[in-house]
Amino acid sequence: MPANYLPVLLLVIVLPYERTNMVSAIEAKCSACKAVAERIEMALDEEKPHQDLDLRGRLDSQGVRFGKVVDYKMSELRMVELFDDLCESMSKYGLATEDGTPVWVLKAGKKGLATGAKGKAETKDLTSYCGALLEESEESLMEAIQSDELEHTKVADILCKQITHHCKEPKKPKKSKKKTEL
Protein backbone atom coordinates (compact mmCIF):
# COMPACT_ATOMS: atom_id res chain seq x y z
CA MET A 1 0.00 0.00 0.00
CA PRO A 2 1.48 3.37 -0.98
CA ALA A 3 2.38 5.67 1.90
CA ASN A 4 0.09 8.48 0.67
CA TYR A 5 -3.00 6.32 1.38
CA LEU A 6 -2.10 5.90 5.06
CA PRO A 7 -3.52 9.28 6.25
CA VAL A 8 -6.76 8.67 4.36
CA LEU A 9 -7.06 5.19 5.81
CA LEU A 10 -6.52 6.53 9.32
CA LEU A 11 -9.25 9.13 8.79
CA VAL A 12 -11.68 6.50 7.57
CA ILE A 13 -11.00 4.33 10.62
CA VAL A 14 -10.57 6.98 13.34
CA LEU A 15 -13.25 9.60 12.52
CA PRO A 16 -16.30 7.37 13.05
CA TYR A 17 -14.76 6.17 16.33
CA GLU A 18 -14.09 9.75 17.45
CA ARG A 19 -17.66 10.82 16.60
CA THR A 20 -19.14 7.96 18.63
CA ASN A 21 -16.63 8.55 21.40
CA MET A 22 -17.77 12.21 21.70
CA VAL A 23 -21.19 11.12 22.89
CA SER A 24 -19.72 9.07 25.70
CA ALA A 25 -16.92 11.52 26.57
CA ILE A 26 -18.89 14.65 27.47
CA GLU A 27 -19.02 15.76 31.08
CA ALA A 28 -22.49 15.69 32.68
CA LYS A 29 -23.96 13.57 29.88
CA CYS A 30 -27.52 13.58 31.24
CA SER A 31 -27.51 17.35 31.63
CA ALA A 32 -26.01 17.81 28.15
CA CYS A 33 -28.73 15.60 26.67
CA LYS A 34 -31.38 17.62 28.50
CA ALA A 35 -29.89 20.85 27.11
CA VAL A 36 -30.12 19.46 23.56
CA ALA A 37 -33.70 18.31 24.27
CA GLU A 38 -34.55 21.80 25.54
CA ARG A 39 -33.36 23.28 22.24
CA ILE A 40 -35.41 20.74 20.27
CA GLU A 41 -38.49 21.71 22.32
CA MET A 42 -37.81 25.36 21.56
CA ALA A 43 -37.48 24.60 17.85
CA LEU A 44 -40.77 22.67 17.91
CA ASP A 45 -42.51 25.51 19.76
CA GLU A 46 -41.19 28.12 17.30
CA GLU A 47 -42.14 26.03 14.28
CA LYS A 48 -44.51 27.80 11.92
CA PRO A 49 -47.34 25.96 10.18
CA HIS A 50 -46.49 24.93 6.63
CA GLN A 51 -48.48 23.77 3.67
CA ASP A 52 -48.13 20.25 2.43
CA LEU A 53 -45.31 19.63 -0.03
CA ASP A 54 -46.52 19.25 -3.60
CA LEU A 55 -44.12 16.89 -5.34
CA ARG A 56 -46.23 16.58 -8.47
CA GLY A 57 -44.05 17.90 -11.22
CA ARG A 58 -44.85 16.16 -14.48
CA LEU A 59 -47.98 16.33 -16.58
CA ASP A 60 -49.25 13.45 -18.66
CA SER A 61 -50.81 13.85 -22.12
CA GLN A 62 -54.21 14.68 -20.57
CA GLY A 63 -52.74 17.38 -18.29
CA VAL A 64 -52.93 15.32 -15.09
CA ARG A 65 -50.03 15.78 -12.70
CA PHE A 66 -47.86 12.84 -11.65
CA GLY A 67 -46.31 12.58 -8.21
CA LYS A 68 -47.58 12.92 -4.69
CA VAL A 69 -48.40 15.46 -2.04
CA VAL A 70 -46.52 14.90 1.23
CA ASP A 71 -47.83 16.10 4.59
CA TYR A 72 -45.29 18.63 5.91
CA LYS A 73 -45.39 17.08 9.39
CA MET A 74 -44.22 13.77 7.91
CA SER A 75 -41.59 15.21 5.57
CA GLU A 76 -37.83 15.03 5.84
CA LEU A 77 -37.76 18.75 5.07
CA ARG A 78 -39.38 19.41 8.45
CA MET A 79 -36.65 17.43 10.22
CA VAL A 80 -33.92 19.25 8.31
CA GLU A 81 -35.43 22.62 9.21
CA LEU A 82 -35.83 21.62 12.89
CA PHE A 83 -32.28 20.35 13.28
CA ASP A 84 -30.57 22.80 10.90
CA ASP A 85 -28.98 25.28 13.34
CA LEU A 86 -29.77 23.39 16.51
CA CYS A 87 -26.21 22.46 17.49
CA GLU A 88 -24.85 25.94 16.78
CA SER A 89 -27.33 27.25 19.37
CA MET A 90 -25.62 25.09 22.00
CA SER A 91 -22.95 27.80 22.22
CA LYS A 92 -25.40 29.60 24.54
CA TYR A 93 -24.75 26.95 27.21
CA GLY A 94 -21.95 26.59 29.71
CA LEU A 95 -20.93 24.07 32.34
CA ALA A 96 -21.80 25.14 35.88
CA THR A 97 -21.79 23.38 39.22
CA GLU A 98 -25.01 23.07 41.18
CA ASP A 99 -24.92 21.29 44.53
CA GLY A 100 -21.50 19.87 43.64
CA THR A 101 -22.78 18.36 40.38
CA PRO A 102 -21.76 19.63 36.92
CA VAL A 103 -24.79 20.85 34.93
CA TRP A 104 -25.15 22.46 31.50
CA VAL A 105 -27.04 25.77 31.83
CA LEU A 106 -27.88 28.75 29.65
CA LYS A 107 -25.06 31.30 29.97
CA ALA A 108 -27.35 34.34 30.04
CA GLY A 109 -26.72 36.06 33.36
CA LYS A 110 -25.08 33.02 35.00
CA LYS A 111 -22.03 33.56 37.14
CA GLY A 112 -19.35 31.00 37.83
CA LEU A 113 -19.08 29.67 34.30
CA ALA A 114 -15.72 29.07 32.69
CA THR A 115 -14.49 31.84 30.42
CA GLY A 116 -11.72 32.17 27.89
CA ALA A 117 -10.17 29.08 26.38
CA LYS A 118 -11.77 26.69 28.87
CA GLY A 119 -15.26 28.12 28.26
CA LYS A 120 -14.79 27.91 24.50
CA ALA A 121 -13.57 24.31 24.80
CA GLU A 122 -16.61 23.36 26.89
CA THR A 123 -18.93 25.01 24.36
CA LYS A 124 -17.19 23.19 21.51
CA ASP A 125 -17.55 19.90 23.39
CA LEU A 126 -21.29 20.48 23.84
CA THR A 127 -21.73 21.48 20.19
CA SER A 128 -19.87 18.35 19.05
CA TYR A 129 -21.89 16.24 21.50
CA CYS A 130 -25.10 17.70 20.05
CA GLY A 131 -24.08 16.76 16.50
CA ALA A 132 -23.09 13.25 17.50
CA LEU A 133 -26.25 12.79 19.58
CA LEU A 134 -28.53 13.91 16.74
CA GLU A 135 -26.69 11.70 14.28
CA GLU A 136 -26.89 8.71 16.62
CA SER A 137 -30.58 9.11 17.46
CA GLU A 138 -31.85 10.77 14.27
CA GLU A 139 -34.20 8.02 13.10
CA SER A 140 -35.78 7.38 16.49
CA LEU A 141 -36.18 11.09 17.09
CA MET A 142 -37.75 11.57 13.65
CA GLU A 143 -40.24 8.80 14.36
CA ALA A 144 -41.16 10.36 17.72
CA ILE A 145 -41.63 13.80 16.17
CA GLN A 146 -43.63 12.53 13.21
CA SER A 147 -45.91 10.43 15.42
CA ASP A 148 -46.67 13.47 17.62
CA GLU A 149 -45.30 11.48 20.56
CA LEU A 150 -43.34 14.55 21.65
CA GLU A 151 -46.42 16.74 21.93
CA HIS A 152 -47.64 14.79 24.93
CA THR A 153 -44.30 14.26 26.66
CA LYS A 154 -41.16 16.23 27.27
CA VAL A 155 -38.51 15.79 24.62
CA ALA A 156 -35.95 15.11 27.37
CA ASP A 157 -37.90 12.07 28.57
CA ILE A 158 -38.02 10.55 25.11
CA LEU A 159 -34.51 11.52 23.94
CA CYS A 160 -32.50 11.13 27.14
CA LYS A 161 -34.29 8.26 28.87
CA GLN A 162 -35.85 6.14 26.15
CA ILE A 163 -33.73 6.66 23.02
CA THR A 164 -30.19 7.29 24.28
CA HIS A 165 -30.47 6.17 27.93
CA HIS A 166 -28.15 9.02 28.97
CA CYS A 167 -30.37 9.77 31.95
CA LYS A 168 -31.16 6.84 34.16
CA GLU A 169 -34.36 6.90 36.10
CA PRO A 170 -33.79 6.50 39.82
CA LYS A 171 -34.45 2.96 40.86
CA LYS A 172 -37.44 2.57 43.06
CA PRO A 173 -36.84 0.58 46.21
CA LYS A 174 -38.39 -2.82 46.00
CA LYS A 175 -41.20 -3.41 48.39
CA SER A 176 -40.58 -6.48 50.42
CA LYS A 177 -43.47 -8.82 50.69
CA LYS A 178 -43.74 -9.71 54.31
CA LYS A 179 -46.34 -12.05 55.49
CA THR A 180 -48.23 -10.74 58.42
CA GLU A 181 -49.03 -13.19 61.11
CA LEU A 182 -52.27 -12.95 62.99
Extents of the domains making up the chain: 32-163
Query: 108: which residues sit within 8 A by CB, 6+ positions away?
Result: 92
pLDDT for 145 equals 83
Q: Which residue has the higher pLDDT, 52 or 120?
A: 120
- Selection from 12-26, 79-93, 142-156 with the highest mean pLDDT: 79-93
Q: Look at residue 3 and tell me whether its pLDDT is greater than 70.
A: no
Q: Look at residue 36 and tell me whether its pLDDT is greater than 80.
A: yes
Return d(Cα 62, Cα 56) in angstroms, integer. Answer: 15
SS3 call for 14: helix
pLDDT for 152 equals 60
